[in-house]
């Protein structure tokens, strides 16, 4: 049996741990730059706050209902996520936990023969007790069915007590009948539309199709895998933690539209430095650097769409881990793509063509300047990771930072900063 543990309105829950007066009250958390609503409690949902909708559209509902609003506090959410995962690893053993996202984990419960409902309840209560974060648990023979169980658990929390276990043929059938295909794990809206054109609307409809038919009409292997999972045959296995990324991206919206080349260059240098830091942490070196900017659309489009992305890339003479070797081409490219008189709202850096750092570390013919550079990077990373807030940085990343994110409703970093601890009376 597999389980999925999923936090209820995770970012809002993190905020509520240190603000108990918000229990049972509507709360929303905004994306970086306070652009969109990215997390909302059930209470906020009931008041009509949409998900991923722009903040300015929801502002009226939020203000007239006195909904508590927070800017995203990723330091806090990241720490709370580690606590959630740590609790789960303590409960079922490190090797039986697959961290699926910041607030979701699959648990491998193979070999456990007790009462699954009681155990799922234990897991739910323990996570809640230890971390203060409310979770929902779905348990079923496969990951896809566990996801479906979780969906049901979340839908009607008072009835399910946030736990749904599908451990018999009858329970699975009943659940399949009341689940829409578009709510299944791995079924995107396009796929759901395709299915409905064949008259397939519930998971039960999909379940009753033949394997040949699915292979022929529903995306071959992917469709068959989904069908098998619904039949309780495990086809999506537990993944080992994804350690090394194939691409490293750092991108942000600007607090206010930026028009000056200098500000763009500062922002891109900062993102490059951040990306290079991530690169070194996973002990990779990059062969290609790609930068892009997104200009603000000239005609005020009310549908809140981004303008087209303008980007370019540079292939580096040899793979590098050095921030300065990455910033240099980034700055040249910034000058090339910048158009005076245009306002930009977003920029980003992508490092790709990643190779293991060891391959260049052992290069006998590496010029000495490189090993000095590597030593400098290591010092810089150590200082920045222990002192935080980028104490040491490249001058090109700027001092004033006019382009910095807007975060008007940021709560303290209660769990990661000594100066920002919760004050108790």
Which residues would be at the binding site for other proteins (CB under 8 A)?
20-23, 82-84, 86-87, 89-93, 111-114, 119, 122, 129-132, 414-415, 418, 421-425
Residue 227's CB is within 10 A of a number of other CB atoms, namely 22
122 versus 234: smaller Cβ distance to other proteins: 122
Give the integer Cα–Cα distance in Å for 132 and 31: 22
Q: What ranges in 93-197 are assigned the alpha helix state H?
A: 116-131, 143-155, 157-160, 169-177, 189-197
Instruction: Please enumerate in sequence order all residues whose Cβ is within 8 A of that of 61, keeping only pairs 6 or more positions apart, or say none.
Output: 47, 48, 49, 67
Judge contact between 247 and 349, C-beta under 8 A: no
Q: Please, what is the minimum distance in Å from the beta carbon of residue 374 to other proteins? A: 23
Nearer to other proteins, 90 or 366 (CB): 90
Single out the residue of 33, 27, 25, 34 nearest to residue 10, CA to CA: 27
Residue 84 backbone phi and psi in degrees, to 5: -60, -50
Name the residue nearer to other proteins (CB basis): 8 or 108.
108
* CA separation for the pair 418, 232 (Å, rounded): 48
Q: Decide if 90 contacts 129 (C-beta within 8 A).
A: no
- Residue 218 φ then ψ, to 5°: -120, 60
> Residue 85 Cβ, how far from other proteins at the closest point, in Å?
8
Residue 243, CA distances (Å) to 86, 246, 282 in order: 17, 10, 7
Q: Which is nearer to other proteins, 169 or 425 (CB)?
A: 425
**Would you say 119 or 320 has its CB closer to other proteins?**
119
- Minimal distance in Å, beta carbon 422 to other proteins? 5
Min dist CB 12 to other proteins, Å, is 16
CB of 49 to other proteins, least distance (A): 22
* DSSP annotation string for 369-380: HHHHHHHHHHHH
- C-alpha 172/C-alpha 164 separation (Å) is 11
Q: How far is the CB of 417 from other proteins (least distance, A)?
A: 10
Distance, in Å, from the CA atom of 238 to the CA atom of 236, rounded to the nearest integer, reads 7
Judged by beta carbon, residue 159 or residue 421, the one nearer other proteins is 421
Between 91 and 376, whose beta carbon lies closer to other proteins? 91
Count of alpha carbons within 13 angstroms of residue 101, beta-carbon side: 8
Q: Output the smallest distance, CB 134 to other proteins, in A.
A: 13
Smallest distance from other proteins to CB 114, Å? 5
Given the complex with other proteins, which of 47 and 76 has the nearer CB atom?
76
Q: How far is the CB of 80 from other proteins (least distance, A)?
A: 10
22 or 310, CB closer to other proteins?
22
Region for residue 257 given its phi and psi (left: phi exceeds 0; alpha: psi -120 to 50; beta: otherwise): beta
**Rounded distance between C-alpha atoms, residue 172 and residue 170, angstroms:** 5
């Amino acid at each position: 049996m597999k389980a999925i543990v999923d936090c209820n309105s995770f970012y809002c829950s993190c905020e509520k741990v240190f603000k108990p007066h918000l229990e049972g009250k509507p709360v929303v958390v905004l994306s970086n730059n306070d652009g969109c609503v990215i997390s909302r409690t059930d209470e906020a949902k009931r008041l009509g706050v949409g998900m991923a909708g722009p903040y300015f559209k929801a502002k009226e509902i939020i203000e007239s209902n006195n909904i508590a609003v927070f800017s995203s506090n990723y330091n806090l959410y990241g720490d709370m996520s580690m606590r959630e995962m740590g609790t789960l690893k303590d409960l079922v053993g490190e090797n039986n936990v697959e961290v699926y996202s910041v607030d979701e984990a699959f648990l491998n419960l193979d070999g456990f023969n007790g009462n699954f409902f009681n155990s799922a309840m234990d897991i739910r209560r323990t996570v809640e007790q230890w971390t203060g974060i409310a979770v929902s648990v779905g348990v079923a023979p496969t990951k896809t069915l566990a996801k479906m169980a979780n969906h049901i658990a979340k839908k009607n929390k008072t009835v399910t007590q946030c736990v749904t276990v599908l451990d018999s043929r009858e329970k699975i059938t009943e659940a399949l009948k009341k689940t829409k295909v578009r709510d299944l794990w791995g079924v995107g809206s396009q796929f759901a539309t395709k299915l409905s054109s064949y008259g397939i609307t519930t998971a039960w409809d999909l379940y009753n199709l033949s394997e040949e038919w699915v292979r022929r009409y529903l995306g071959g292997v992917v469709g068959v895998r989904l069908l098998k999972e619904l039949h309780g045959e495990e086809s999506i296995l537990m993944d080992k933690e994804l350690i090394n990324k194939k691409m490293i991206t750092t991108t942000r919206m600007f607090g206010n539209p930026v028009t000056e080349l200098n500000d763009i260059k500062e922002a891109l240098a900062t993102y490059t430095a951040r990306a290079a830091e991530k690169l070194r942490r996973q002990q990779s070196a990059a062969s290609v650097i790609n930068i892009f900017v997104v200009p603000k659309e000239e005609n005020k489009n009310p549908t809140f769409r981004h303008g087209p992305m303008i980007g370019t890339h540079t292939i580096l003479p040899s793979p590098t881990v050095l921030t300065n070797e990455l910033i240099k081409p980034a700055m040249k490219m910034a000058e090339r793509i910048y158009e005076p008189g245009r306002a930009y709202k977003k920029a980003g850096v992508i490092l790709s063509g990643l190779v293991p750092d060891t391959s260049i570390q052992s290069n006998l013919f590496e010029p000495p300047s490189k090993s000095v550079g590597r030593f400098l990077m290591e010092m810089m990373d150590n200082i920045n990771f222990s002192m935080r807030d980028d104490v040491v940085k490249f001058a090109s990343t700027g001092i004033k930072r006019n382009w910095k994110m807007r975060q008007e409703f940021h709560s303290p970093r209660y769990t990661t900063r000594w100066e920002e601890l919760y004050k108790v009376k």
